[in-house]
Structure formats: C-alpha cells, structure tokens
Amino acid sequence: MPKIVNHEERRQEVVAAARRIILRDGIEAATTRAIAKEAGYSNGVLTHYFSDKDDILLSALQSSHRRITARLMDKLAGRTGLAALREVLLDNLPLDDERVQETGLEIGFWARSIGSPALLQVQREEAGDLRRLVRALLQSARDSGELTTAENLDDVTERLLALVDGLSVHRLLYPADDARMERIMTAELDRL
C-alpha cells in the first residue's frame, strides 16, 4: 500500500527548513540542496511542492510574517491609539533574540528582492500592510484626541517606519543597548 503523504504538512516542513537555514546561515546559504537536506528529503521532492527556489523563499518569508502578525495581534488585544502604535513599533524592533532573527531574515530578503520581481512585490505588499496599520493607529489616536500634531499622518507614518528600519539595521550591524533603541522610539512617539 502506498504511503499517504500530507502535502501541506510536507510543504510546511520544507518552509521550516528554509527558515532555519536563513536564520542560522543567511539567505544565500538557503540553496535548494541545503533546504532539502535540512528537511530530510531529496532535492527532487522540492519540485513537487514548489515551482522554484524563490517560491520556497517566498513561502518562508510569508510564514515569518504570519508568525509576527499572530504575536502582534496578541500584544494589541485591548489596546488602541498610541498605546497600540507603541506596541506595533516596538514589536518591529529587534529587542530580543527572536526578533533579531526575524529582522535578519527580513533584511536578507530586502537584498534578494531587488533582483526578483515576485519577491519584491510580496515585500511591498506586506510592508504596505504594516504601513496601513501604523497609519490607521495614528488616525485613531488623532480622532480620540491623543494625537494633536497637525503634521500630515502619511509623513509621520513614513518617518516612524524609516526609524524602525534604521534602528533595526543598526542593531544587526552594531549590536547596541536594546534599552537605548526603545528610548529612541519612545522619544519619537512622545514628540507627536
């Protein structure tokens, strides 16, 4: 009797293997051969579940984003306005080992996305989700009277996200005092 294979489970095993390699060794080390070996499958098995290497990498990126979103939704429960915005922004900073790894994965994809229209499109779409969330929280804070700045909220959104990106890259390149990064972000929010 042939073995019954759960295709979604096998796909997730391959995605998890790709994620482990990217987190451990960097995105360039995530070759199809290395991913197959890490997952415990032959290289040929990957072609049954993914169209190419970028499809695997894209699935790993989306899996990481789903994990981040789930964690963030838990943190946002019961919070609105500036309190929720603070949680969103601080959660996007690499302030613990898990987020340092996630940031490394994300930044690794930035470089790869430049040469891959499919990855770039997904990066832009998913970054757009974060941008819309930050913008909506700013609007909510303004509507409730928490935020009194007359500054254009689209500009504030871009500045806050650029600060997150800059602090994140800086943290990976030059490990810093995590409390300092949190103080910098909090000071920026206090200026609003």
72, 153, 155, 109: CA torsion to nearest 10: 20
Class of domain 1-50: mainly alpha
What is the 3-state composition of the chain as percent helix, strand, coil, each rounded to the nearest 5? Answer: 80, 0, 20
Q: Domain coordinates of the chain in residue numbers?
A: 1-50, 70-190
In tens, the pLDDT along 4-33 reads 667 788 899 999 999 999 988 888 899 999
CATH architecture of 70-190: Orthogonal Bundle (1.10)
Q: Give yes or no for a contact between 144 and 70, defined as CB atoms under 8 angstroms apart.
A: no
**What one-character-per-residue DSSP string does 139-178 give?**
HHHHHTTS----S-HHHHHHHHHHHHHHHHHHHHHS---H
- Per-residue pLDDT of 96-152, as tens digits, reads 888 988 898 888 888 888 888 888 888 898 899 999 999 999 999 999 999 988 899
Q: What is the pLDDT of residue 1?
A: 54
pTM score, whole prediction? 0.84
